[in-house]
Each structure stands twice: as structure tokens, then as C-alpha cells.
Amino acid sequence: MTAKQRGIWVFGDYRNYFQNRVTLQLLSRAKDLAKKIDAEVCAVVFGYKTDEWRGDVLSYNPTFCGVVGEYIAHGADKVYLADDPRLAAYSMETYTLLMERLVKREKPGIILIGATAFGREFAPRLAKRLGTGLTADCIGLDINSEGLLVQIAPSFGGNLVAEIVTPERRPQMATVRPGTFQEIPHDYVRTGEVVKVPLPKSLPGDRVRLVRSEHRPQRDQKLEDAKVVVCGGRGMGSKKKFVKLFELAELLGGEVGATRPVVYADWADHDALVGQAGKHVRPQILFSFGISGAIQHTAACNDAKFIIAVNKNPNAAMMKRADVAIVADASQICNSLIQELKRRIR
């Protein structure tokens, strides 16, 4: 098998570029994996005039040199590029067909796709089209002694972790959530090959048509994507005291979540509900104020990397699950934290 056949491909999901750097993160991980099996790392880009594509990236990154350039600078050895006006907007049916043709021609060993909304729909369709297996939302990827891609994914609300392989079918496919891997710093000295992908003369008529698309940039940062979440429960005492959590969250650059009783008591909007019937959060740090920890709630914040819980009752379920359990009045701690943060953040 040649390096090409051991190719690790990453789908270039560029339309949310700066907010969502998952493609860059995957390229970086692909590079590490590629070393273990001597494979080449390729990015696949379908679009129109992608080298002119800017989005609002320049406001963040003045050295941005176009999608293809960025992918090479972040680890791609090769970029397969299909550039055509018919690809100006993402299209599930067209992209699936193009990818299918490309894969059948080039036969990569592994395809990684970022678990964006598009990726999570695209990957299963593609896997089915190619007759291969797919593991969703991997929290880790590795290569084992047999050279197989080990797909590490959570199951059952994050309480268990599974290691999965695709022993026979090819390519091996996985989707990975943004933020799982770290991107390598861009290296503009790197060079790579750009391979133009021709389109068939006629594309299948789209049975799904995009009627309207409005870009709603991430100023309303979703609770689910927040790196810091401040959750409050009935232990906060009253609506007036609960509302202080918003001040704390703002200092921390995070979002406020609430439990069901709090939403019912109208201390917070239904949008803030963190629970089985509400939102699932995956922050780096979760502050849990005055929450006893009903299963419906804890199941939705199990993925938090570090939990600081505050409750008068040391035996509350949330306190037992926390990395730091503070036995005190939730509202008082909230106020003290606000004061202390104001002091420390200049």
C-alpha cells in the first residue's frame, strides 16, 4: 500500500471558518496519526472561488491566505479542490456524489469529518453511500498496533467510553466534535499540492433546495458550545439572587443555565434549561449553584471537564459529582466570586 492509499482525508468545512476551526483541528490530529502509518494528509474542499472566500475572518486574522492556503499551513500535504459556481452553497446531494467519486478514485484509508451540523448529516450519508462504518462524535482517535483507526466515542450520556474499529470496510470514517483536538500553529512555509477535482457535466437535480439562508454569526453564543457554564438551581433562593448569576457569567465569559424548577418559577427562560428536555452542555468548567442534581439535569452536564458545585447540603448528588464541592449558601458564594473576579480581572 502506498502512502496515498493510507491517506487520511479531512473534509474542509470552511463556511464557519473562524468560529469553527474543526477542520484545522482535525488536520493537526491527522498529521499525528499519519506519522504512525506513514500516510499523507489531504483536505477536501468543495466550493466556489474559495481562495477569495473571506467571511469575517480578516477581522480576526489579518494573515488569512484563503481556505486552501490555511489548510496547507495547518498540516495538509494535499488539497483536493472542486471549484465551481454550482458549489457556491453547501449541497448535501452534490457533495455526497462528488466525495463518492473522489473516494472511489483515490481510495483513502481514513476520512475525518468535523461534527458540525453539516458534518453530522454528511458523514452518515457518505458512509452509507460507500458501504462503510462510521463512529460519531469521537472524543479521541488513535492508531493501534494493527494499523487500524481506533475511534474513541462516549456512549450512554458520557458514562461509558467505547473504543471502536472498522476492521474490514474502507475507508474508516469518524466525526469529531469541534474543540476535541488542538490545531497546530500555522506554518506558512509549508507547501502542498492542490489537485483540481473535475465536476461531472451534469449534477443530480437537488431534491432539496435551499430557499433562503441567513448567516447568524455567533454573537448569541449557544449554551451548548459555551466553554464556561454557570448553572443555577432553587438553592439560589429567589429570582433576584438568581439573576446575579448572569453577572458572574459575564465576568467569566460564559453562559447561564438553569434547572427545571428554576425555569418553572420563572427565574430564567426556557432557553436556559439544562436537562434532558433542554440543552446539553459540555463546558470546560461548570459552576453549579444550589442544584441538588436530579438525573435529568446531571445527564445533560456530565461532559463538563471540571465541576465546581456550591450547595448548603454536602450530600446533594451534584456535590458528589463535583471536582470541588463548596458547602455554603449558593447566593453568598456567587456574590463573593463576583467581587473577587472583579478584583483580579484588570
Partner 1 sequence: MLKLIVCIKQVPMVSELPWDPATGTLQRDLAEGMMNPACRSALDAALRIKETVGGEITAITMGPPMAEEILREAIALGADRGVLLTDRKMAGADTSVTSHTLARAIEKACPGFDLILCGFSTSDSETAQVGPQLAEELDIPGVAYVDELKMAGRKVRMQRFSDNFLETLEMDLPGLVTVTTRRYAPRHAPLGGLQAAFAEADIVSLDAAAVGLDPEQIGAKGSATKILNVYSPTARKKNIVLTGAPKRIVEQLFERFDDKIGGAIGKDLKTERK
Partner 2 sequence: MDFNPCMKHKVVRKAVRMFAEAELAPIAHDIDRDARFPWEVMEKMRPLHFFGLQAPKAYGGAEMDTISYAIVIEEISRVSAAVGLCLTVHNSVGIYPIVRFGTEEQKNRFLPAMTRGERIGAFCLTEANAGSDAGGVETIAVRDGRDYVINGTKIFVTNGGVCGTALIFAITDTQNPQRSAGVFIVEKDNPGFAVGEIEDLCGMRANPVSSLFLEDCRVPETNLLGRSGDGIKIGLATLDAGRIGIAAQALGLAQAAFEDSVRYSKERQQFRKPISSFQTIQNYLADMATEIDAGRLLLYRACAVKDAGRPFGAEAAMAKLYCSELATRVTNLAVQIHGGYGYSKEYDVERYFRDAKVTEIYEGTSEVQRMVISRAVLARRT
| Contacts of partner 1 in 108-167 (CB under 8 A) | 116-118, 120-121, 123-125, 127-129, 131-137, 150-151, 154-167
Least distance from partner 1 to the Cβ atom of residue 115, Å: 9
Question: What is the gyration radius of the CA atoms in the chain, in angstroms?
Answer: 23
Q: How many residues bind partner 1 (CB under 8 A)?
A: 94
Decide if 110 contacts 31 (C-beta within 8 A).
no
Asked if 125 is part of the footprint of partner 2 (rule: CB under 8 A), the reply reads no
313 binding partner (options partner 1, partner 2, none; Cβ < 5 to 8 Å by kind): partner 2
In this structure, what DSSP letter does residue 88 have? S
Contact residue for partner 1 among 105, 145, 191, 214 (CB under 8 A): 214
- Considering only residues 216 through 275, tell me which ones interact with partner 1, judged by CB under 8 A: 216-218, 227-228, 252-254
Decide if 309 contacts 324 (C-beta within 8 A).
yes
Least distance from partner 2 to the Cβ atom of residue 247, Å: 25
Residue number, 29 or 279, with CB nearest to partner 2: 279
Report how far apart, in Å, the C-alpha atoms of 290 and of each of 95, 193, 249, 333 are: 48, 56, 15, 10
Asked if 315 is part of the footprint of partner 2 (rule: CB under 8 A), the reply reads yes
| Residues 337, 288: Cα–Cα separation, whole Å | 13
Q: Provide DSSP, 58-121.
A: GGT-TT---HHHHHHHTT-SEEEEEE-GGGSS--HHHHHHHHHHHHHHH--SEEEEE-SHHHHH
Least distance from partner 1 to the Cβ atom of residue 333, Å: 5
Q: What is the per-residue binding string for partner 2 in 248-287, x denoting contact by CB under 8 A?
A: ------------xx-xxx-----------x----------
| Residues 181, 25: Cα–Cα separation, whole Å | 5
Decide if 65 contacts 58 (C-beta within 8 A).
no
315 binding partner (options partner 1, partner 2, none; Cβ < 5 to 8 Å by kind): partner 2
Give the number of other CB atoms < 10 A from CB of residue 282. Answer: 19
Residue number, 78 or 297, with CB nearest to partner 1: 297
Asked if 237 is part of the footprint of partner 2 (rule: CB under 8 A), the reply reads no
SS3 (DSSP) at 231:
strand
Report the interface residues with partner 2, using CB under 8 A. 260-261, 263-265, 277, 296, 312-313, 315, 317, 320
